[in-house]
Structure formats: structure tokens, C-alpha cells
């Protein structure tokens, strides 16, 4: 049972990491993948619950389920990496939500169904061995959670630091085969036992050999397929994500989570010249500049053409700078060796919070906020931090997708959200429209008169390829400003972007889907119109209807009420699992590395809550009263979690450990309910394993709903704080149902 939890965490976390790389780091797909995993696991658990009672050899079935996981896990890794190729997409081409949903559903299906089926069989085996059928489901639940706890630190600090993904999959397969082999030895006799043991031993030998030999061929084959046979010079994971270097003739392109971020020795001349010089030419005398990401490969070179004293340069992923030095070009070597350059091996957002320096110009060179990792550089909270280190005449600049021919609704919403956010912090904001819109912001007014900028270009003796006098005049034509203003229209109803309400991510994904999955435009438009008021009213209407039915049919809905409470607790538990993951990424940016640890903290609380309740189970006489008290505790937790996250966001990394504590408390409350619910749910027509399987499936069904709704809809659209209030409302209704049962 320990191995069941251990395997589940490793499989889920590793596949999520692989899908994050494949689908360009969009953390909201974590919800989609978890939703698929959970619903398939629920199907596996529920469909096998009755079969677990009828099976003559449950241990044999359990061992065969372990065999299936051991053999398919490496295959799933390979398929996750090569999904875009299977879908016929080129490297860097976007993927819509529908493709993400279906591809992840089919790839993880065997693993999640096998994992779900293990639970009722585990309950059957444990009750038979322990002779304690009442406590069996709770103890299996606890043992599974303990497996998660053991897996978390091992996965994070051992597997990820020493093994490739295929090696991890093979190692987990070996553990499952060993477990299956031991189980078969105690279950079977004669020829059948010898045959199956021999087969397991052969597979064990093959996987052990593969761990040290064949995995390398699998890895190279998956990378070649993933990158369409391009020349991959380097492929590795850092704590922030996946980094890849591709060579085409003498040109190097550096990718972060599949998104090209730096090209050398030939950069995008138009982009680096416009972003650099429009920023620095608007300042009378720039001396100290901060470049946040994307500096190497042309941007720094253009900056050094100005009479600067110092450039501080940080990367979103500090490991990227080391990779650039590993594959140098004349351009990057010259940039990185300039004595005026100070490279800061630190996350850019953290540097902005910690630095005591102030700057004449701050250039943010990151892609649009399509992920929470990127979005944290476009929020009101970050803009306020930028404002604190910007000098009185300083200029802050960045870019967003644009067009000089047509601005569709998705592009308008994305630009409008960030523009509204920027204006809420800076007194003066100006935009230079183009294929990319250049945003310039300052505390005080600044000029964008073409003649002034052209004069400064001449005075500083700056030589450019594209940004000549005529180009500056063309870009700053008054008609472009008027056209942009008219195309954008009234922006008052477009939501601002915050750490705990990442509207920028939602609008970026809507824009992305408009390009690659236009069939979803209507759905994204409807989601954009969701409001807390309407969601609250819908929830109250549904809750009132359920309370009415319970009053009319109290006996018939007794089990339904318990089931609803467990499903709603599963919903809340998964909600906070995701909320904490998303908030952690918004605050700190490296959930890619600490994902397993956050899940482990939740499971540790789950195990502790389940163990404590199971230990007291036989002594509890008023089960529904105890259940009601737990419901009240969950409501209180929901109400306090939001304000506490706001408090945490005001501090730096020294309080990041609090996320693990909150996750543990959430798990403790969820874990406390399951054993107690199982005791209340039992009756003459339900066995222990049937009740456990049914409630486990309801728990997973609630978690499935949360995985889909929380990450994809609630958090990006209404924000984390209001989501917590909706969760509290949901539990208020379930607690009323339980209170009525207690009476």
C-alpha cells in the first residue's frame, strides 16, 4: 500500500513536468492533467470495487496491476514528450486546450485506471490479513498517503538530481515488479506460481538492464521526435523548467519550456533595436539600467551603445546564463564580458524586491504572460516593486503582442488588462503600436517626439541597422496612436492583473487559443463574463435545492448527504492543492522543482488526519456530530486561507515554508473525514470494501471537478480570494446537510 502512494506521486509529478515542457509551461494545464488522472482513477476504483469482492485471488490481481504500471510508465513518458509530433505540430507551434485534454487523457489512462483499481483490492487484502475490516479502508488510505510522503523528498532531492525521466520511470517499475513478485510468492502455488514468478523475474532483469543502458536510447529518440530531428545540443531541466539549445548551421536558439527566448549570433534586429533604443532615447541621460531576462543575444549589445555606467542583468531562469556561456558566440561573449555588466544569478522578481539600487531604465524582455511564471512579471504587485526602484525620470518598458492591421478581441483584452494594470501604478504610460506593442511607463511625463529621439540618437553617435531617422518617424506617426486608441476602445471593463487574480494568464491563453484553436473562442468569451456574484448565486440555488430535497426525503438521502459531503471535501481539498501550487508559482516562480514537495505536505496532513481519526473510530459514538465539527473546521480554513495568502505575498522568500504548512493543514482536514464517513456510510447492503470504493470514487469525483474548474476558470477569472469564499459557501451547505443528519 505504501508503494501504491509512492508510485502515484512519482507518476503524477513526472508526467505533469513532461506535459508542462511539451505544452510550453502553462501551469493551468496542471488542472487539466490532474482532472483526467482523477476521473480515470475514480473509474478504476469504482468499477473494480465489486470485482474486488468476487475475485478469488485478489493478490494476483493486485500484482498484475503493478505489472501494468511498471511496463507502461516509460511508454507514457515517451508519448508525453512526443505528443506534438504525434499531433502533427511543428516545434514551437501552439496547442489548444482541446488537444491538451485529449492527448493527456489517452496517455495517462492506463496508469490512472490501474492506480485507482489498486485501492479496493488493497482494502480487500488488508482486511483479510489484519482481520479488522472496519478499519481497513482508513488504514489503506493512510498507507497510501504515507507512500506519497516518502516519495516527495526522494523524488525532489534524489530522483530529479541524479536520474533522467526514463530512469525514474524504470526504477519505479522495478520497485513495482519486486513488490508483485513478493506478493505472488505468498498467493500462488505450483506451476502457475513458478511460471508467473519466472515472467516477473525476466521483466525485472530487463528493466534493471534498461535502467543503465536502454534508457539513453529512449531519451535520445524522444528528444529527436519532440524537436523534429533538429540538432539538439543540450536538453536539461532546471528548477524553473526545461532548457534546450538548438543549432541550425551557425545559429543557436535557446528555448525555455519550448518557447524561443534568445537567438545568437543573429538576433531579431528589429525587436532588439526598437525595444532598447525607444526605451533609452526617451531618457535624457540614462546611466544605470536593469535588464530583466532576454538580455544576451543582442539586447545587451544595443544597450551598450548608449553611454551607460552599469547594467544589472538577471534571467528568469539563472541557469540559462550558464547555458549561454557553454555555447558562446562572438556576440554573446562580447556582451557578457563587458566590464559594465553585472550578471545577477537570481530570479528577476526577487532581485527587484531585494535590490537597494535605483535605475534610469528597466527593460523587461519576456514573452506575454501565458504562464504564471511569466505572469508574475506583469502584475500590479510587480509593477509597484518596479516603481520603487525606478528613478524619478526613469523609464520602464516591455512588449506585448500587437498588430498594425487588426486587433481582435483576444489581443485587445490581453493588452487592455496589462495596460489597465500599468496605469494603476504609473502616472504616465505611452504605447508604440506595432507587430509588438512597446509599453513605456514612468513616474513623470516623458517625450516621444520623433525629432527629440533622432537628435539624441545622433548626439550619442549610435549606429543602428534599422532604427534610422525615417523608421523612428514612421513608428511614431500620430495616426498609429489614434488608430491604436480607437481599436482598443473602452477598457474599463477589462480586469486588472494581480498575483492572486492572474487575469493576464487567462487573456493570454484566450489569445493563444484564438490563434491555434479558434473553435474555443465562444467558450473563452463566456468564461470571461463569469463573475463572483453569478457563481455565488448559482451555488446558493443548487445548495438550497439539495437542502429542500433532504427535508422532503430525509431517509432516502442519508447516504447521498454523506456522499455529497465527501465529494465537496474532495473538491475543496483538490482546490487548495491547486490554489497553493498556483500561488506558489505566482510568488516564487519555481513550482517546477517543488511541486512534489507541496503535494507531499498535503498528503502528510492527509495521513495524519486519517490516522488520528482511524485510531479514534471505535470510540466515537456520535459520528455525525464529529463529522459536523470537521465540516466547520474546513469552512473556517476556507475563510482564513485567502487573507493569509495576501499577507504572505507582502514578504520575501523567508516565509515560503508557510505554503507547506497550509498544505498540510488542508490535507489533515480532508484526511480526517474519510474514515468517519466510511463508518457512517456502512449498512446492511454495503460491505466495507464497497463503501470504501464508493466514497473513494466520490472523493475523486469532487477532486476532478476542482481540477478542471479551479485552475482553468475560477483562479484566472475571479481570483484566489473569491474562490476561497465560494469554497466556504459550498462547505456551508454540506455542513447543514450533516447537521440535519445529526439531529
Asked if 365 and 275 touch (Cβ cutoff 8 Å), the reply is yes
Alpha-carbon span 159 to 73, nearest angstrom: 15
Would you call the peptide bond into 351 cis, given omega within 30 degrees of 0 as the criterion? no
- pTM for the model: 0.87
Q: If we measure between CA atoms, which residue out of 379, 331, 373 comes closest to residue 595?
A: 373
Helix (H, G, I), strand (E, B) or coil at 404: coil
C-alpha cell recorded at residue 440: 513605456
- pLDDT, residue 276, reads 97
CA 510 vs. chain centroid, Å, equals 17
Dihedral pair phi/psi, residue 255, rounded to 5°: -115, 140
Quick: pLDDT tens for 91-107.
Answer: 656 666 777 888 999 99
Q: How far is CA 409 from CA 329, 405, 406, 423, 464, in A?
A: 41, 14, 10, 20, 35
State which H helix or E strand residue 288 sits in. Answer: strand 288-292
More confident residue, 465 or 691: 465
pLDDT given for residue 391 in this prediction: 96
Confidence of residue 135 (pLDDT cuts 50, 70, 90): low
Which residues pair with residue 251 across a beta bridge?
248
Mean pLDDT of the region 31-40:
88
Does pLDDT of 685 surpass 70? no
Locus of grid cell 546611466: 287
| Distance separating alpha carbons of residues 134 and 681, to the nearest angstrom | 12
Q: What residues contact 13, with CB distance under 8 A and at least 6 apart?
A: 155, 595, 596, 599
265 preceded by cis ω (within 30°)? Answer: yes
Q: How far apart are CA 194 and CA 212, in angstroms?
A: 28
Q: Is 247 left (phi over 0), alpha (psi -120 to 50) or beta?
A: beta
Give 134's contacts (C-beta < 8 A, 6+ positions apart): 617, 618, 679, 688
Please check whether residue 564 is in contact with residue 694, taking contact to mean a CB–CB distance below 8 angstroms. no
pLDDT score recorded for residue 17: 87
Residues 300-333 pLDDT 10s: 999 999 999 999 999 878 889 889 999 999 999 9
pLDDT at 607: 84
- Can you spell out the DSSP letters for 645-705? HHHHTTS-GGGTHHHHHHHHHHHHHHHHHHHHHHHHH-BTTB-HHHHHHHHHHHHHHHHHH
Full DSSP string of 434-491: SSEEEEEEESS-----HHHHHHHHHHTT---SS--HHHHHHHT-HHHHHHHHHHH---
Judge contact between 400 and 417, C-beta under 8 A: no
* Digit-coded pLDDT (tens) for 412-425: 999 999 999 999 99
Task: Write down the residue that cell numbers 483490492 correspond to.
Answer: 121
User: For the residues of 336-379, what is the DSSP string, one character each?
Assistant: HH-TTEEEE-S-HHHHHHH----EEEEEE----S-SHHHHTTSS
What average pLDDT does the segment 9-17 reach? 91
Per-residue model confidence (pLDDT) at position 684? 43
713 phi and psi angles, rounded to 5 deg: -120, -65
Backbone dihedral angles phi then psi of residue 443, each to the nearest 5 degrees = -75, -30
Higher pLDDT, 187 or 44: 44
E-only strand ranges, 598-683: none
Q: How far apart are the first and last CA of the chain?
A: 37
Mean per-residue pLDDT for 653-659? 80
The answer to whether 69 and 173 are in contact (CB under 8 A) is yes
Whole-angstrom Cα distance, residue 123 to residue 137?
5
Contact 254/324 with Cβ under 8 angstroms?
A: yes
Closest CA to 41 of 141, 138, 114: 114
What CA–CA distance (Å, rounded) separates 46 from 40?
Answer: 10
Q: Is the pLDDT of residue 675 over 50?
A: yes
Average pLDDT for the chain:
87
| 394: pLDDT strictly greater than 80 | yes
Q: pLDDT value at position 575?
A: 95
> Coil, strand or helix: which one is 392?
strand
What single DSSP character describes residue 157?
Answer: I
What's the average model confidence in pLDDT over 349-362? 94
Asked whether residue 691 carries a pLDDT value surpassing 80, the answer given is no
Alpha-carbon span 153 to 194, nearest angstrom: 37
The string of pLDDT tens digits covering residues 136-162 is: 666 777 788 788 889 999 988 888 888
Radius of gyration, alpha carbons of the chain: 28
Helix 503-516 with 715-742: angle, nearest 10 deg: 110
Percent of the residues in the chain that have a pLDDT greater than 90, as a whole number:
49
Question: Does residue 530 register a pLDDT over 50?
Answer: yes
When pLDDT is cut at 50, 70 and 90, the band that residue 700 belongs to is confident
The three three-digit cell numbers of residue 316, written as one number: 528568469
pLDDT for 652 = 64
The C-alpha cell that represents 677 in the structure block: 464517513
Length of the chain: 743
Instruction: Indicate if the pLDDT at residue 408 is higher than 60.
Output: yes
Q: 727 CB contacts (<8 Å, ≥6 apart)?
A: 571, 572, 575, 576, 638
Grid cell listed for 300: 545587451
State the burial class of residue 407 (Cβ atoms within 10 Å of its Cβ: 0-12, 13-18, 19+).
buried
DSSP letters spanning 18-64 = HHHHHTTT-TTHHHHHHHHHHHHHHHHHHHHHHHHHH-S-HHHHHHH
How many CB atoms neighbour CB 687 within 10 A?
A: 18
Amino acid at each position: 500500500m505504501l508503494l501504491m502512494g509512492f508510485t502515484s506521486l512519482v507518476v503524477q509529478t513526472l508526467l505533469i513536468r513532461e506535459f508542462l515542457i511539451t505544452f510550453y509551461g502553462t501551469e493551468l494545464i496542471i488542472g487539466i492533467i490532474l482532472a483526467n488522472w482523477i476521473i480515470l482513477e475514480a473509474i478504476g476504483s469504482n468499477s473494480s470495487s465489486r470485482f474486488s469482492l468476487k475475485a478469488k485471488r485478489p493478490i494476483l490481481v493486485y500484482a498484475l496491476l503493478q505489472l501494468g504500471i511498471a511496463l507502461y510508465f516509460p511508454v507514457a513518458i515517451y508519448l508525453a514528450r512526443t505528443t506534438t509530433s504525434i499531433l502533427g505540430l511543428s516545434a514551437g507551434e501552439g496547442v489548444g486546450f482541446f488537444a491538451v485534454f485529449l492527448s493527456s487523457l489517452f496517455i495517462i489512462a492506463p496508469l490512472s485506471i490501474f492506480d485507482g483499481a489498486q485501492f479496493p483490492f488493497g482494502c480487500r487484502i488488508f482486511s483479510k490479513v489484519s482481520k479488522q475490516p472496519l478499519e481497513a479502508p482508513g488504514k489503506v488510505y493512510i498507507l497510501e498517503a504515507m507512500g506519497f510522503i516518502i516519495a516527495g523528498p526522494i523524488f525532489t532531492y534524489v530522483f530529479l538530481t541524479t536520474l533522467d525521466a526514463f530512469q525514474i520511470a524504470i526504477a519505479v517499475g522495478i520497485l513495482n515488479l519486486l513488490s508483485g513478485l513478493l506478493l505472488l510468492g505468498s498467493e500462488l502455488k505450483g506451476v502457475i506460481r513458478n511460471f508467473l514468478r519466472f515472467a516477473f523475474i525476466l521483466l525485472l532483469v530487463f528493466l534493471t538492464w534498461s535502467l543503465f543502458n536502454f534508457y539513453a536510447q529512449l531519451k535520445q529518440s524522444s528528444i529527436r521526435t519532440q524537436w523534429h530531428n533538429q540538432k539538439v545540443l543540450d536538453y536539461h531541466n532546471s528548477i524553473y523548467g526545461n532548457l534546450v539549445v538548438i543549432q541550425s548551421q551557425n545559429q543557436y536558439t535557446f528555448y525555455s519550456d519550448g518557447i524561443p527566448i534568445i537567438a545568437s549570433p543573429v538576433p531579431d534586429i528589429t525587436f532588439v533595436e526598437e525595444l532598447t533604443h525607444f526605451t533609452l532615447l526617451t531618457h535624457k541621460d540614462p546611466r544605470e539600467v536593469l535588464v530583466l531576462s532576454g538580455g544576451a543575444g543582442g539586447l545587451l549589445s544595443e544597450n551598450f551603445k548608449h553611454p551607460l555606467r552599469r547594467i544589472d542583468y538577471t534571467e528568469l531562469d539563472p541557469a540559462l546564463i550558464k547555458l549561454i556561456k557553454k555555447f558562446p558566440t562572438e556576440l554573446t561573449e562580447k556582451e557578457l564580458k563587458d566590464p559594465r555588466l553585472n550578471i545577477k544569478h537570481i530570479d528577476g522578481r526577487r532581485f527587484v524586491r531585494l535590490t537597494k539600487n535605483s535605475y534610469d531604465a528597466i527593460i523587461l524582455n519576456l514573452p506575454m504572460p501565458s504562464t504564471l511564471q511569466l505572469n508574475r512579471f506583469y502584475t500590479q504587485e510587480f509593477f509597484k516593486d518596479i516603481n520603487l526602484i525606478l528613478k524619478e525620470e526613469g523609464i520602464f518598458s516591455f512588449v506585448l503582442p500587437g498588430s498594425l492591421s487588426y486587433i481582435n478581441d483576444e489581443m485587445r483584452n490581453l493588452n487592455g488588462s496589462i495596460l489597465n494594470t500599468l496605469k494603476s501604478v504609473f502616472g504616465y504610460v505611452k504605447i508604440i503600436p506595432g507587430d509588438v506593442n512597446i509599453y513605456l511607463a514612468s513616474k513623470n511625463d516623458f517625450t516621444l517626439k520623433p525629432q527629440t529621439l533622432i537628435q539624441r540618437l545622433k548626439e550619442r553617435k549610435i549606429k543602428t541597422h534599422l532604427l534610422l531617422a525615417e523608421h523612428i518617424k514612421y513608428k511614431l506617426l500620430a495616426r498609429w496612436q489614434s488608430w491604436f486608441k480607437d481599436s482598443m476602445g473602452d477598457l474599463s471593463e477589462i480586469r486588472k492583473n494581480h498575483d492572486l487574480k492572474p487575469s493576464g494568464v487567462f487573456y493570454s491563453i484566450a489569445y493563444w487559443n484564438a490563434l491555434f484553436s479558434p473553435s474555443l473562442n465562444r467558450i473563452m468569451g463566456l468564461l470571461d463574463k463569469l463573475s463572483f456574484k453569478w457563481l455565488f448565486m448559482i451555488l446558493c440555488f443548487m445548495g438550497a435545492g439539495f437542502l429542500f430535497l433532504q427535508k422532503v426525503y430525509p431517509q432516502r438521502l442519508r447516504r447521498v448527504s454523506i456522499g455529497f459531503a465527501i465529494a465537496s471535501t474532495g473538491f475543496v481539498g483538490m482546490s487548495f492543492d491547486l490554489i497553493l501550487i498556483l500561488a506558489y508559482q505566482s510568488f516564487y516562480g519555481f513550482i517546477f522543482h517543488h511541486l512534489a514537495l507541496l503535494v507531499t505536505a498535503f498528503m502528510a496532513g492527509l495521513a495524519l488526519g486519517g490516522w488520528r481519526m482511524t485510531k479514534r473510530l471505535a470510540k466515537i459514538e456520535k459520528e455525525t456530530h464529529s463529522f459536523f465539527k470537521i465540516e466547520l473546521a474546513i469552512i473556517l480554513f476556507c475563510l482564513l486561507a485567502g487573507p493569509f495568502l495576501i499577507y504572505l505575498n507582502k514578504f520575501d522568500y523567508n516565509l515560503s515554508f508557510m505554503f507547506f504548512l497550509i498544505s498540510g493543514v488542508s490535507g489533515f482536514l480532508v484526511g480526517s473525514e474519510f474514515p468517519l464517513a466510511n463508518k457512517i456510510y456502512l449498512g446492511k447492503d454495503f460491505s466495507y470494501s464497497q463503501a470504501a470504493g464508493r466514497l473513494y470514487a466520490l472523493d475523486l469525483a469532487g477532486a476532478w471537478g476542482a481540477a478542471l474548474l479551479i485552475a482553468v476558470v475560477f483562479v484566472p477569472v475571479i481570483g484566489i480570494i473569491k474562490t476561497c469564499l465560494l469554497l466556504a459557501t459550498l462547505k456551508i451547505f454540506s455542513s447543514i446537510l450533516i447537521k440535519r443528519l445529526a439531529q
